[in-house]
């Protein structure tokens, strides 16, 4: 795939991503001109999710770890807006429309910095809706927009403006557009931004949520079967935005009569699986347990074995997976809470079979690779098997975590040697020096092979 296919905004971010993906020491050694640098640039492109296409536009397999990369790319494209796609043109002009409405209210003129800040928020909103992920080729097209005035006067543009206003808490504009019957619902692939009710919940605007749910309940009147309902919508989007008060409101009995009121389990599990807030987890984890186990809240077939299986989901599936994510992200208080108050299953730590569809990494391995030494210590104290955790610590380059695991009484010699090889391959000199200082050795032939392979 020739680099000429890629836009300047994308090329700049590829170089930045290449440096972020590798150590600064390694990036300096590449000197920007040799074959090795080209190889690592290709690797950075791959990490970002770009794959070659038969067309002149590369396809994209967006990875979670590359979200920063693509958000920055989208922001740069929207701010430039030269020969942009219709999607980028719409985001650019929605930002202008929002700020011009504010200017009318406050008799002022928005600044360039205010425009950039608004664009960043709207680009993040598009990412939250997965619209960029599902339509990346459209976003990456670079040609003049046909009939720009027609786009600005279209119902679709006004609907996107309404969603943005709901997200940013602009009640007068939301009410004015709803009075003109622009409230709408559509699926992710069809709308740049989430529909207004979701945007208001994501932005944490309780008054606008109530307005859209109770005064302008357009979505329930639609003939679309995929509308999720008010309760799951607000739970999901308010949870993503960290607005616990709105989640509480949606779970209250006063919402039981609304459409989708029986479907709170899935969005509740989703937000509790992703949150980094211990207060949010404490606040709703027992509500999740109730929705998982209570046959009234979650009607199940009258079959005892199915009922038992569903009840086991909370303890045998949700809690262990939540423990792994908390360990990976260094959420020590959350890990301690799950172990000691929620009582994560001990057999999970001791090496029992993983939950179905589990991603394959242990909580201990996740913490070790990320260099969260205190969490590694906590998990070991609770009885976690050390296994090959030292290899994961070496892979992550954490000297302190590697030292802790090396000094553990049950660490195996084969894992220690594998850790040294991993550290040499990843050029984590601190870990290499630590292990060699403890007397760990590999042959000169093995070392040369590892170095040659890592630099090839």
Residues 392 and 311 in one domain: no
SS3 310: helix
Between strands 59-60 and 50-51, the pairing is antiparallel
Residues 354 and 391 in one domain: no
Residues 391 and 441 in one domain: yes
Select from 46, 40, 42, 74 the least CA-distant residue to 62.
46
Residue 271 resides in a domain: yes
DSSP string, 7-38: -HHHHHHHHHHHHHHS-HHHHHHHTTTSHHHH
Answer with the one of 342, 358, 374 that is the final residue of a domain. 358
The Cα–Cα gap between 286 and 272 comes to 11
**Which residues are bridge partners to 60 per DSSP?**
50
What's the total number of domains in the chain? 2
Residues 403 and 443 in one domain: yes
Residues 332 and 415 in one domain: no
Residue 93 resides in a domain: no
What residue spans of 107-229 are helical by DSSP H? Answer: 112-128, 131-134, 136-140, 148-152, 155-168, 171-179, 196-203, 206-210, 218-221
Residue 296 resides in a domain: yes
Rg (CA), the chain: 26
Residue 70 resides in a domain: no
**Which residues are bridge partners to 51 per DSSP?**
59
Residue 211 resides in a domain: no
The Cα–Cα gap between 27 and 452 comes to 17
Answer with the one of 343, 358, 373 that is the final residue of a domain. 358
**The two structure tokens encoding residue 104:** 């009318």
Residues 271 and 339 in one domain: yes
SS3 387: coil
Apex 256 CA angle, 319 and 284, nearest 5: 25
Element (H, E) at 142: none
The Cα–Cα gap between 356 and 353 comes to 9
Neighbours of 200 (CB within 10 A): 33
Q: 300 is in which domain, residue-wise?
A: 264-358
Classify residue 423 as exposed, middle or buried by CB count within 10 Å of its CB (0-12, 13-18, 19+).
Answer: buried
For residue 261, the model assigns a pLDDT of 60
Residue 144 resides in a domain: no
Residues 268 and 354 in one domain: yes
**Which residues are bridge partners to 50 per DSSP?**
60
In 193-286, beta strands by DSSP E: none
Residue 372 resides in a domain: no
For residue 452, the model assigns a pLDDT of 75
Residue 221 resides in a domain: no
The Cα–Cα gap between 268 and 121 comes to 25
Whole-model pTM: value is: 0.76
Q: Which long-range contacts (CB under 8 A, 24 or more apart) does 420-426 make?
A: 420/394, 421/446, 421/450, 422/391, 422/394, 422/395, 423/394, 423/395, 423/397, 424/450, 424/451, 424/454, 425/450, 425/453, 425/454, 426/394, 426/395, 426/397, 426/454
For residue 74, the model assigns a pLDDT of 86
Largest CA distance in the chain: 77
Select from 392, 278, 279 the least CA-distant residue to 333.
278
Q: Between helices 413-426 and 429-437, what is the axis angle to 10°? A: 150
Q: Which residues of the chain have pLDDT under 50?
A: 1, 21-25, 27-37, 40, 220, 300-303, 352-360
């Amino acid at each position: 795939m020739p680099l000429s296919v890629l836009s300047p905004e994308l090329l700049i971010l590829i170089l930045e991503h290449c440096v972020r993906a590798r150590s600064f020491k390694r990036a300096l050694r590449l000197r920007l001109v040799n074959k090795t640098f080209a190889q690592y640039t290709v690797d950075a492109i791959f990490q970002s999710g770009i794959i070659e296409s038969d067309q002149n536009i590369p396809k994209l397999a967006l990875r979670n770890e590359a979200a920063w990369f693509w958000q920055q790319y989208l922001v740069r494209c929207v701010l430039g807006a030269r020969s942009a796609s219709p999607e980028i043109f719409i985001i650019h002009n929605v930002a202008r429309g929002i700020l011009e409405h504010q200017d009318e209210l406050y008799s002022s003129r928005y600044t360039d910095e205010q425009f950039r800040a608004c664009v960043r928020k709207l680009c993040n909103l598009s990412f939250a809706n997965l619209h960029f992920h599902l339509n990346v080729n459209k976003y990456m097209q670079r040609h003049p927009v046909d009939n720009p005035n027609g786009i600005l006067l279209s119902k679709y543009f006004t609907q996107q403006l309404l969603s943005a206003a709901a997200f940013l808490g602009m009640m007068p504009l939301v009410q004015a557009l709803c009075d003109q019957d622009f409230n709408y619902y559509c699926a992710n692939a069809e709308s740049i931004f989430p529909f207004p009710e979701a945007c208001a919940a994501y932005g944490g605007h309780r008054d606008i949520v109530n307005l859209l749910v109770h005064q302008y309940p357009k979505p329930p009147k639609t003939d679309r079967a995929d509308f999720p309902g008010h309760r799951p919508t607000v739970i999901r989007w308010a949870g993503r935005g960290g607005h616990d008060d709105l989640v509480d409101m949606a779970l209250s009995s006063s919402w039981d009569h609304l459409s989708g009121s029986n479907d709170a389990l899935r969005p509740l599990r989703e937000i509790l699986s992703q949150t980094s807030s211990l207060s949010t987890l404490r606040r709703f984890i027992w509500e999740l347990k109730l929705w998982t186990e209570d046959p009234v809240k979650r009607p199940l077939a009258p079959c005892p074995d199915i009922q038992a299986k569903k009840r086991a989901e909370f303890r045998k599936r949700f809690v262990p997976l939540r423990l792994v994510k908390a360990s990976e992200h260094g959420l020590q208080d959350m890990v301690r809470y799950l172990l000691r108050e929620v009582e994560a299953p001990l057999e999970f730590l001791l090496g029992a079979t993983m939950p179905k569809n589990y991603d394959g990494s242990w909580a201990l391995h996740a913490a070790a690779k990320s260099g969260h030494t205190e969490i590694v210590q906590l998990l070991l104290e609770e009885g976690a098997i050390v296994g090959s955790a030292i290899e994961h610590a070496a892979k992550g380059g954490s000297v302190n975590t590697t030292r802790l695991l090396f000094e553990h009484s049950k660490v195996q010699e084969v894992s220690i040697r594998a850790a040294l090889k991993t550290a040499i391959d990843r050029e984590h000199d601190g870990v290499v020096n630590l292990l060699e200082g403890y007397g760990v050795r590999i042959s000169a032939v093995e070392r040369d092979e590892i170095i040659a392979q890592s630099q090839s």
